[in-house]
Amino acid sequence: KKKISIAIDGPSAAGKSTIAKMVAKKENFIYIDTGAMYRSVAFYCIKNHIDLNDEQAVEQAISNIQIRLTADNKVYLNDEDVSLQIRTDEVSLGASCVSKYQAVRTFLVDEQRKVAETGNVILDGRDIGTVVLPHADLKIYQIASVETRAKRRYLENKERGLEADLETIKKEIEQRDYQDMHRAISPLKKADDAIELDTSNMTLEEVVDQVLTLINKTR
Ligand code: C5P
């Protein structure tokens, strides 16, 4: 039986990881949260007082970074559980900053491809369908209005016990989208063969069902 790979890309807080996790659970796929990897690099730099704008310094830091994603969706940075710490606004913007560096992308894309070879996988991020897995069996480009996304992230943060302010979140999302779409290397864009899914007026269950239907068509 052939291995199936699914790519979900789209702007920040579009609900990609929520959907990917639910689909992975239902289909028993390996889920790879690639954003968590960029976040971990940013978090490492912030923690070690490395200037995120100093490309050379960030590049040097990479050799000291080991990231591990577990089956229960925990994120380990050099064997420390950073799952919650990488979800702050500071780390979100930091990730968007370090993700523009070639050395960071090469390091993480290699890791992502290695894991992707191990079985049926679903990856979410910004460049999965365009760069990481250009031959993915199914590519989804998941979008939602900025209002919807900000509201969802607001509720998510509150649930996680993180401080949440709707306007701040909206600004942060807009800034990241702009940066991610306008960077020189692997900018966020819909792959030509990706299916666009606007989830603004859809429930989680509807989105999951839609993706499951699309997966079944690839078999
Ligand atoms: O998906 P998430 O919001 O956790 O990603 C954080 C940041 O990491 C993004 O804003 C983007 O700059 C970067 N990223 C990326 N490529 C990916 C995943 C995330 O550049 N595949």
Range 127-133, long-range pairs (CB < 8 A, 24+ positions): 127/9, 127/186, 127/187, 127/188, 128/7, 128/8, 128/9, 128/34, 129/7, 129/9, 129/190, 129/191, 129/193, 129/194, 130/9, 130/186, 130/189, 130/191, 131/186, 132/7, 132/34, 133/5, 133/7
ipTM rounded to 2 decimals: 0.99
Please, what is the angle between helix 166-182 and helix 89-98, to 10°? 10
Q: Is 86 left (phi over 0), alpha (psi -120 to 50) or beta?
A: alpha
What's the CA-to-centroid distance between 218 and ligand 1, angstroms? 27
The minimum-distance atom of ligand 1 relative to the CA of 12 is: 3
What's the CA-to-centroid distance between 93 and ligand 1, angstroms? 9
E strand segments, the chain: 5-9, 30-33, 67-69, 75-77, 80-81, 121-125, 138-143, 195-198
Which protein residue has the closest C-alpha to ligand 1 atom 19?
35
pLDDT string in tens for the chain (219-residue length):
689 999 999 999 999 999 999 999 999 999 999 999 999 999 999 999 999 999 999 999 999 999 999 999 999 999 999 999 999 889 999 999 999 999 999 999 999 999 999 999 999 999 999 999 999 999 999 999 999 999 999 998 888 888 889 999 999 999 999 999 999 999 999 999 999 999 999 999 999 999 999 999 998
Q: Is the CB of 172 under 6 A from ligand 1?
A: no
Mutate to test the pocket of ligand 1, among 34, 67, 82, 179 (most ligand atoms within 8 A of CB): 34
190: annotated binding-site residue?
Answer: no
Q: Is the CB of 129 under 6 A from ligand 1?
A: no
Model confidence pLDDT, tens digit, residues 68-108: 999 999 999 999 999 999 998 899 999 999 999 999 999 99
What's the CA-to-centroid distance between 96 and ligand 1, angstroms? 6
Which protein residue has the closest C-alpha to ligand 1 atom 2?
35
pLDDT for position 1? 66
Cut 0.90: pTM above it = yes
